[in-house]
Structure 1
């Protein structure tokens, strides 16, 4: 006799913009949210280190299909650098690998910032998720291997010195593109200033297109476990979800009729004609009555779906 299958979870779709607490892993956070919402599937858009807090967008259900569009978005971090040491992990967890007695004056820090603005070459930390010959860099580093990680191109849109509360620390804000390691910024600035440095505080405040005010503390969600009635508890949780289509707000938008929506759901293109027909676009999204129907391209007078939503 076969065992009964476990329920797969609810078929809900939307984004939960979690304010991830300090000392809590991104994968752990996704698992917790998936369990709280009883969701069929979940994923996150952009890992946050356990020692970092702040915005972690978590996609539930069909929203996981829009994760790449959030991964590619701009991000804003506030971070603190402690001068005088370089650490193996480039944050508070690692052992000191180099030390210096000098401390940088504020003028020297400000003068350095333009060097780290724009498109720059950056070497990811030894303890990072970068793959080297099929292995994660952090696994190799934990085994004591010193590995050569090639530099890669990243984009820093803005790097601002917020304050220097004392000689040992400096607070910054950075707006950056995909793949930027803030820990590497601290390490490299410390080397250039001749004093070494590591991240001693890190918080992500923005992931495009989601605003900081959308963040929900994990504690707020956990408190709802006290609601004994499951239907009421899930309804209270669902109230925090943001519509799946919000992740696509930077793409061209096409409002379609119910008949057109039905064709798109079946994977068929729809014809776009007339004076108000949209311009060609490699990526766009279609909605019907505010509901996300498909992501696709606009070309040759048609909208051609690539991803279809239930």
Structure 2
């Protein structure tokens, strides 16, 4: 088994739970995922099978989400599953007031990760340390949010704002909900989250966990999933050098340093880096 699955992760399980279930169903140990989703979140979870796990770092970085922010509440996890920290009425908020705060969250911004996150500090996950009551100082991280669009507004004592967010990797939508609530002076937490795009895969083409089996395995090729890369086909004479990690002399290569997908007989055999007239192997797949 070699390729990618576009999995629609269900709510209530971790990304690793999905991997374990797929390993059991497909009887395959070598499975990985690209981009963790919180247990409450649903949506696109890119899954790599077999040697394709080595290609996960080269997935397209762009992600898109539909998230609902609930105002007037703050929680320990920055989402609705956490313990309540503070509650206050926010019925005075208007959509216009909220929209006025959104532009400051677009572009390259400094974002403080949630205390309950998978980031490692001194070799331990933040969520594990938070569960033990440890307070860990984590510096803000620079993330990029390309666009925020308002999809729905539900007024009330704790208004709900539904947004479509397009962003780069490493962005926490929970942190965005928290920080937007702080900017409005009422607090905020994430009430719902669906990832609709990740790693070049879209929600419309995803498959449920229940539908996946050895008999129904809708694999996508690396060439299709990594379509943002240029691709080059090796000939018989070049294949041996490639498999031994030796640079390949090629014509018509993109600018130096550009990543290039490499195929032989139409099958992905790795990733290289352009270096003038040579293609330097970075990932060599021999299976």
SS at match of 2:166: strand
Aligned partner of 1:252 among 207, 221, 230: 230
How far apart are the structure 2 equivalents of 1:286 and 1:44? 22
How far apart are the structure 2 equivalents of 1:20 and 1:300? 42
Aligned partner of 2:273 among 294, 297, 304: 297
TM-superposed deviation, 1:141: 1.1
Structure 1 runs (4+) deviating above 4 angstroms are none
TM-superposed deviation, 1:289: 2.8
How well do the aligned residues superpose, as a CA RMSD in angstroms?
A: 1.6
How far apart are the structure 2 equivalents of 1:49 and 1:250? 27
Match of residue 181 from structure 1: 172
How far apart are the structure 2 equivalents of 1:17 and 1:285? 20
TM-score normalised by the chain length of structure 1? 0.86
TM-superposed deviation, 1:38: 1.7
1:75 aligns with 2:63: yes
Report if aligned partners of 1:25, 1:50 keep a CA contact under 8 Å in 2.
yes
Match of residue 95 from structure 1: 83
How far apart are the structure 1 equivalents of 2:69 and 2:276? 52
TM-superposed deviation, 1:278: 1.9
Report if aligned partners of 1:86, 1:198 keep a CA contact under 8 Å in 2.
yes
Alignment of 1:121-160 (within 5 A): 121-160=110-149
Runs of 5+ in structure 1 lacking a partner? 1-11, 225-233
Match of residue 264 from structure 1: 242
TM-superposed deviation, 1:125: 0.6
TM-superposed deviation, 1:50: 0.5
Match of residue 109 from structure 2: 120
Aligned partner of 2:263 among 275, 287, 292: 287
How far apart are the structure 1 equivalents of 2:203 and 2:256? 29
Alignment of 1:104-115 (within 5 A): 104-115=93-104
TM-superposed deviation, 1:121: 0.6
After superposition, give the CA deviation of every residue in 1:28-78 in whole Å (9 maximum; x if it has no partner). 1011112212224011001000100000111111110111112x6111010
Number of aligned residue pairs: give it. 282
Report if aligned partners of 2:253, 2:276 keep a CA contact under 8 Å in 1.
no
SS at match of 2:169: coil
SS at match of 2:17: helix
Match of residue 45 from structure 1: 34
TM-score normalised by the chain length of structure 2? 0.93
Aligned partner of 1:202 among 193, 196, 218: 193
Match of residue 212 from structure 1: 203
How far apart are the structure 1 equivalents of 2:123 and 2:234? 44
How far apart are the structure 2 equivalents of 1:165 and 1:287? 51
1:243 aligns with 2:221: yes
How far apart are the structure 2 equivalents of 1:142 and 1:270? 51
Q: Which structure has the bigger radius of gyration? A: 1
How far apart are the structure 2 equivalents of 1:281 and 1:14? 28
TM-superposed deviation, 1:130: 1.6
How far apart are the structure 2 equivalents of 1:171 and 1:252? 36
Report if aligned partners of 2:43, 2:203 keep a CA contact under 8 Å in 1.
no
After superposition, give the CA deviation of every residue in 1:159-205 in whole Å (9 maximum; x if it has no partner). 11111023321111101111100000000100111111111100101
SS at match of 2:282: strand
